[in-house]
Chains A and B, each alone.
Chain A
């Protein structure tokens, strides 16, 4: 056949005009009258497909993972979600809703004699073969029928059009009386995989307006959240989640849309389940974060923080007594995950309360001997959870540490916590208000509570407590507005250190005046009973020991036992070591953390002292938990350590690069009175609570030898306020020349 004949041939005319309509058609290079075309199958409405159980013989033949990047999660997640609404779906059936199926492949050959004498030779197939053969043969018959019907004429276009129309209802595959299409299980993975890929492609082609930057973005730069299907652009998600994780604000790793997830809440309350603790966790899974994508390291921190929060919220968690470790003891309730990135973050149930006891309390509430052994999950140290010594076996009778054995530091810590913090009624986390109203939201467990009396407040109407005439806190919403332990007005003046105190006075080291003999003259505002005092006097941080109230309250520790004296001696030695090291009188930092007081439109940030062991921490270690430029008011120099993360924003975060031992040194965070939002510098005054600052200056602050080495890491450099947008690295560069 030569070219002219070929051009004149009706068959080639037909195929070339078809190729003009369907450019994707493939014409067989070896035989010009043979072509193949993929006909997309995107059923609308989507097809409900039930994949039937394996018969025993064909069990796990297709257990290979899906090939597309996100098939397993997206697909399964999506499918399970959509099925939830299905009324007929029974829970044990494997039903999926698919809107994209592998295309129907049409191979058509136009034989000699076509169209007048011969009908086209048609082959239909799908890969994999999901379309039942009965339907395929029906479609083949249609070809012949159409050819006849159009008077044995050119039929290819008509036929393709016919197939396309039938493809929309998926060739009537779902034309069965009760519900879903049944397909063999072997097809499941490849069909889901195909569906996901197709959906991904469609998604990438689409354009979305990102609700955060308000810019139109191509789907390829967007991410659809698995839980709620809201779409945001990847840079915004990364920005937000990275910030949250850096700041330790893991609770905010959820959808960015307003009101997202709120409906579920109202439904629950309608059902009358006042179960406030069992909030549905709407935070993203680590695997989804990786998908967005976030850096592996960031996601690991997220997983770590979530677990840490969980552990800390559990009052029964026991911590390793080794001060350099302080890991959690192994527990069945919170097993240490083997794979840190695994999705099931600590499946333990909030309702299931572990054994909580006070190691210093009554004998009767202590666990039986056999249950006292605890093993640290980090350093594998086996210890007794009552006496905190190395495990002594079940036959040794052990006693809890007595009050007198507590070090002065620990006592000071307790005292401070008692005076200037309020505990969350749910998780007992101590919290210190820095400013704002008395409606607090626990940073750990989100409980709403009253700062004055620690009452639990209803989330829906937290202010009733302050508006109800019968309440002990009636009209006290704004008591302590300037913060607890902080003088709202004269804060700066209060923390000015008189010049004479700034002089390093080694000679005046007074053996008879133990360093921990604190007195603060503020016994009168110990918040013990109800109602709390309306406005406690500010702590006199620069007050010399020897105020009028110093012998009150049984807190004079001059009559210490031998252990106390030994500690005192050690402290003196350390003080000297400090002095030799020529340390300028300078405060240490402590470690605070948040507690967001709600209500007012300026979100009120509180500062919470957070001993790692929760309330009444016996630990001299505090986690560094707060953010802010640390500026010493003592010598007016910024104080920063390379072992401390100091970032700028006012919102504190709850996990640190490291922990600093700074027991006995307390800091009060003051908002510089003229600090503005864009200048989040916070003034920090650090002193050992109740210890006159010159005592601190002498170094008699209870810093142990080991801790001095940590002190040595401190860099005191010139750097003023860190403005927003300065990254940590440049800060640390400027600090550690």
Chain B
């Protein structure tokens, strides 16, 4: 059942992708690993950047949540500042996940997070602090990182 649903969602997302998001399989023979390219939304310091987001679906999908991480380095309170780029999405926690949540919603939520970080729910406390207290500096670094890592 899982792969059928994934195929369906993939087709839907390929046909009519949400704004600023393109999806493809990381490897055509494996439907469980997706490569998602996310354009930095306008008005955010990530604008003009193109971020690789890795989406990995468990075999139990949709009963178990997918996991999402940034493959491109990004300066963001909700993304770990290491090579894992792990993200903190409440909806992806095993106990919060609902089987009828869709990948599109997950991706849109992730993109929304670029527009509007959630500093109170941050995995990078320091960046969150900066986001709240010194927005200009945060914007600057985030823009710089975007230039450095997210523009090919």
Contact = CB atoms under 8 A, between A and B. Distances in A.
Contact of B59 (A240, A446, A724): A724
B48 interface: no
Contact of A212 (B68, B99, B128): B99
A437 B123 contact: yes
A232 B122 contact: no
Given A214-B9, A599-B88, A601-B89, A467 B122 contact: yes
A236 interface: yes
Given A257-B100, A475-B125, A603-B65, A651 B5 contact: no
A30 interface: no
A493 to B, nearest CB: 22
Nearest to A255: B98
27 contacts: A211-B100, A212-B62, A213-B1, A213-B4, A214-B8, A239-B63, A255-B98, A258-B98, A260-B98, A437-B123, A446-B95, A461-B120, A463-B122, A463-B125, A467-B129, A475-B125, A477-B125, A596-B94, A598-B93, A598-B95, A600-B123, A603-B67, A603-B93, A677-B59, A677-B67, A678-B32, A678-B58
Nearest to B57: A677
Interface string B34-64: 0000000000000000000000101110111
A601 B93 CA distance: 7
A461 B62 CA distance: 26
Contacts of A251: 95
Interface of A: 211-214, 232, 235-236, 239-240, 243, 251-252, 255-260, 437, 441, 446, 461-464, 466-467, 474-475, 477-478, 596, 598-603, 649, 651, 677-678, 724-725
Interface residues of B, number: 41
Nearest to B6: A214
A477 B123 contact: yes
A640 B26 CA distance: 36
A673 B65 CA distance: 22
Contact of B98 (A256, A649, A725): A256
A463 B121 contact: yes
B58 A677 contact: yes
B151 interface: no
A601 B68 contact: yes
Contacts of B120: 461, 463-464
Contact of B95 (A256, A475, A596, A649): A596
Interface string B69-97: 10000000000100000111111111100
Most buried by A among B32, B64, B120, B123: B123
Contacts of A446: 95
Given A603-B65, A677-B56, A724-B60, A256 B128 contact: no
A599 B90 CA distance: 7
Given A258-B98, A466-B125, A475-B126, 12 more contacts: A212-B99, A239-B63, A240-B63, A463-B120, A596-B93, A596-B94, A599-B93, A601-B87, A601-B92, A603-B92, A678-B32, A724-B59
Given A256-B99, A601-B92, A463 B1 contact: no
B136 interface: no
Interface in B107-127: 120-123, 125-126
B97 to A, nearest CB: 8
Contacts of B14: none
B70 to A, nearest CB: 10
A239 B99 CA distance: 11
Contacts of A239: 1, 63
B35 to A, nearest CB: 16
Nearest to A466: B125
Interface residues of A, dominant DSSP: loop
Nearest to A649: B60
Contacts of A649: 60, 64
A477 B128 CA distance: 13
Given A240-B99, A477-B123, A602-B86, A651 B93 contact: no
A466 B65 CA distance: 25
A602 B70 CA distance: 12
A211 B64 CA distance: 14
B115 to A, nearest CB: 19
Contacts of A603: 65, 67, 92-94
A602 B95 contact: no
B100 A258 contact: yes
B125 A600 contact: no
Nearest to B121: A463
Contact of A256 (B56, B88, B100, B121): B100
A530 to B, nearest CB: 19
Contacts of A463: 88, 120-123, 125
A386 to B, nearest CB: 37
A599 B123 contact: yes
A595 to B, nearest CB: 11
A600 B89 CA distance: 7
A596 B93 CA distance: 9
A239 B58 CA distance: 16
Contacts of A214: 5, 8-9
A239 B60 CA distance: 11
A441 B1 CA distance: 30
Which 10 A-B pairs have CB atoms at the shortest separation, nearest pair first? A211-B100, A467-B125, A603-B94, A258-B101, A258-B98, A724-B59, A601-B87, A256-B99, A461-B120, A598-B93
B87 A600 contact: yes
A478 B29 CA distance: 35
A477 B81 CA distance: 13
A475 B122 CA distance: 11
A602 B67 contact: yes
Most buried by A among B32, B60, B87, B92: B60
Nearest to B88: A599
A404 to B, nearest CB: 42
Contacts of A599: 88, 93, 123
Most buried by A among B91, B93, B101: B93
Most buried by B among A213, A235, A475, A596: A213
Contacts of A602: 67, 69, 86
